[in-house]
Structure 1
Amino acid sequence: MNLSNSISIFTLAMLFLLAPLAYGGSGACRGKMLNPVTDICWQCMFPVKIGSATFGNGDEPAPGNITSPVCVCPDSKGILVLGLSTAFWEHARLIETVREPFCFPALGTGMTNPKPGFYSGENRNAEYGDSNLAFQQAHYFHFPAWSILKLFMDFPCSENKAFDLAYMTEVDPLWNDDSLSFIINPEALLFGNPVSQLACVADSVAATVTQPVDPLFWCMGSWGSFYPLSGSMVENNPLNVNAGLAARMLFKLGRETLLFDTGINQCASGGVVTPILVKSNYRLQMARPVRGNDCIPIGRPSLVWGAAKNPPFGTANNSPDNFLWSLTRRRVCCVGYALN
């Protein structure tokens, strides 16, 4: 067993040991272990492109920026590999956006909140202040679905890692304070004006029809603005809030060099660091509180995909306003044989 697997198992074990202390009696954090077979949308891996052939979802653009069906890339030893250009949508991560701090619905458990109400989520209407305001915590999991289910183990393009809790915002002061978040996104001052935000209308329209506009990197379409890179949003629609915060989590991790984009360079098997998020390389699918069948580009209006997806009292396996998102990312790679 390697070190990564050991850390993953230890993390999950600690979460389960702490669960009775956190929510054993109150039931405030409802959850159920994620079932990768039934809870995620496998159709979201399509379309797949191999060489010049495209499979599945003919009405959607094939992923990646592949320009040639044939590729030549160096392997880890520097030996050139001749192969076929391959692109698909990879089920790679899970993102939770939750109202209750230290609640992990995907694991069916929670951890003890050091102080009741500490960094709890909220959703406040404009009548109680100057504007709508919402706040949620977020959790980021490594979730290589193919590896977990032992599928396509000999396929060189898929990620082979263990399931792991990789990031939780409850212990991140930058997520919990808008002012501190400017440390990692000082350029936010350039986009806090009506002209910049008006450009986001075009991004919303594009995300509704096909995919978001990457040069408008500060826009999340109809979900609002990426800035600040914190858990606060000027919005009161729970679906827009939670989808937007899941997208912000990606931008924030990229800015902190913790996110590697696998849809840019087919010769970089581990991905490329992207301080500015390439929005069109990621799609979300709602897994909780109600499983959705939509592969949602960043910024697509919840009116299109969100009907009856957030019951007011939650579900038997999920508290209200606790969301779980299955993330699919573009994966481009070169599948072939070494040129000896």
Structure 2
Amino acid sequence: MIRFFLIGLMSTMISMASLYSVAADNDKAGDLCPDANILSTVIDGMCWSCLLPIRLAGIGGDAPKGAASSKPFCMCADELGVPEWGIPLGFFQPSRIVSFSPTPYCMPSFGVRLADDSTRAGQGRTETAIDDTETSFFHYKYWVYPVMQMIEMFANADCTYDGATTLDLAYFSEADPLYQDDLLAFVMFPETVIFSNPIATSICTADCAQILAGGEVVENYFCAGCSGNLYPMTGNNQYSDDPVRGTSLLTTRLMATLHRRGQAQLTMGNHMIQDSCEPNYAPMLPKTQYRSSMLYPVREASSQPKGGGGSSIPLSTGCCHKLGDSVLKWGNGRLVPGREAFVYLLYSWNDCCLR
């Protein structure tokens, strides 16, 4: 009995010491791990216009390339295989949060830093390559953020595929050795040797031109639009002087990695409104399925970014952007001196059948 009491007492003391260590780390981190106040800005911090277009029964605006065809009715099989008729619905659903920070174990979405400085594991860095070009490195935290279910809006069970109803940390880069090493990433992405070269990069330039013209490109899956080449699939990027563009590229790389692993699925297309009506595995990133909106350091949903001595730069009318869209269209005024953390809200196009 005494032995169990001592074990319990020791566990409590260790837990209290760990909490004290975390609090001390947070105090030392200061602005290196800021608080983006995500939960306190659920309503006013979100880009509501990014839910559009909402297409019901094939009516309601132009859907992104790759979405289900414009049909007034849909048919899905129930658990017994019996067909059920319904009405197709498609819209961009906010469902994920991605945060970036050069500080390991920093969670800027909520201003928490969980770290063990003694191990030095996952330390961020800025390196100089052989050709004297600097590369930067950011760690990410990937959160399940079912905000529509949390506020009970568009929370129909037929359009909720992952079953998520609460906030949850799904993945983080410190636990992923492939994200931190270009050579290890080659194991999962052997095509890197083909696409990580100047020829592929030149093709991505044309890809960017089409996006700037308002088009959507799905064929060049190795490109991240105006953000550059999608490969290698690591946290290293060449935009050390432009972290907004750099983290935008890393967002696209992260989603491509999750699709390759099966942790993200294809939720757009005719397969969502016929037969089993279930998401499919997509080993290559369906870029048109996603939209992104910056939440921190300057919300993209705000009409005027603030900072830099009180000055502001007028932005475009939209408050979210396509993956790979040029930062010249949405990123002006988003970089605040002294703030190295960035948080994005991801919208995913969902086709579903309301039965």
Distance in 2 (CA, whole Å) between partners of 1:322 and 1:70 is 45
Residue 226 of structure 1 deviates from its aligned partner by: 1.2
For the residue of structure 2 that corresponds to 1:156, the secondary structure is helix
Matched to 1:277, the amino acid is L
| Structure ID, larger Rg | 2
1:226 to 211, 224, 230: 230
Match of 1:173?
177
Distance in 1 (CA, whole Å) between partners of 2:170 and 2:321 is 23
Matched to 1:36, the amino acid is V
Q: Where does structure 1 lack aligned partners over 5 or more consecutive residues?
A: 1-14, 314-319
Alignment pair present for 1:51 and 2:57: yes
2:353 to 329, 334, 340: 334
1:138 to 123, 137, 140: 140
- Is the 2:76–2:277 contact (alpha carbons within 8 Å) kept by the matching residues of 1? no
Over 3 Å counting, the alpha-carbon distance change for 1:312 and 1:111 in structure 2 is same
For the residue of structure 1 that corresponds to 2:188, the secondary structure is coil
Alignment pair present for 1:291 and 2:310: no
Match of 1:235?
239
Q: Where does structure 2 lack aligned partners over 5 or more consecutive residues?
A: 1-17, 302-318
Matches within 5 A, 1:171-320: 171-236=175-240, 237-264=242-269, 265-267=271-273, 269-293=277-301, 294-313=319-338, 320=339
Over 3 Å counting, the alpha-carbon distance change for 1:75 and 1:180 in structure 2 is same
Over 3 Å counting, the alpha-carbon distance change for 1:312 and 1:258 in structure 2 is same
TM value normalised by structure 1: 0.84
Distance in 2 (CA, whole Å) between partners of 1:177 and 1:116 is 18
Alignment pair present for 1:30 and 2:61: no
Residue 78 of structure 1 deviates from its aligned partner by: 1.8
- Is the 1:260–1:270 contact (alpha carbons within 8 Å) kept by the matching residues of 2? no
Q: Which segments of structure 1 move beyond 3 Å, counting only runs of 4 or more?
A: 15-19, 60-63, 113-126, 152-155, 267-270
Larger mean Cα displacement after TM superposition, 257-266 or 236-245 = 257-266
- Is the 1:16–1:110 contact (alpha carbons within 8 Å) kept by the matching residues of 2? no
Alignment pair present for 1:65 and 2:84: no
Residue 150 of structure 1 deviates from its aligned partner by: 2.4
Distance in 2 (CA, whole Å) between partners of 1:307 and 1:72 is 45
For the residue of structure 1 that corresponds to 2:99, the secondary structure is strand
TM value normalised by structure 2: 0.81
Larger mean Cα displacement after TM superposition, 252-261 or 69-78 = 69-78
**Percent identity for Structure 1 against Structure 2:** 25
Matched to 1:181, the amino acid is A
Bigger helix share: 2
Residues paired across the two proteins, number: 312
Distance in 1 (CA, whole Å) between partners of 2:128 and 2:151 is 43
Residue 83 of structure 1 deviates from its aligned partner by: 1.4
Matched to 1:140, the amino acid is Y
Tell me the C-alpha RMSD between the 2 structures.
Answer: 2.5
Over 3 Å counting, the alpha-carbon distance change for 1:26 and 1:230 in structure 2 is closer
Over 3 Å counting, the alpha-carbon distance change for 1:142 and 1:192 in structure 2 is same
Over 3 Å counting, the alpha-carbon distance change for 1:16 and 1:259 in structure 2 is farther
Residue 158 of structure 1 deviates from its aligned partner by: 3.6
Match of 1:6?
none
- Post-superposition Cα deviations, 1:243-281, rounded to whole Å, max 9, x if no partner, equal 110111100111111111211331455522111101111
Residue 209 of structure 1 deviates from its aligned partner by: 3.0
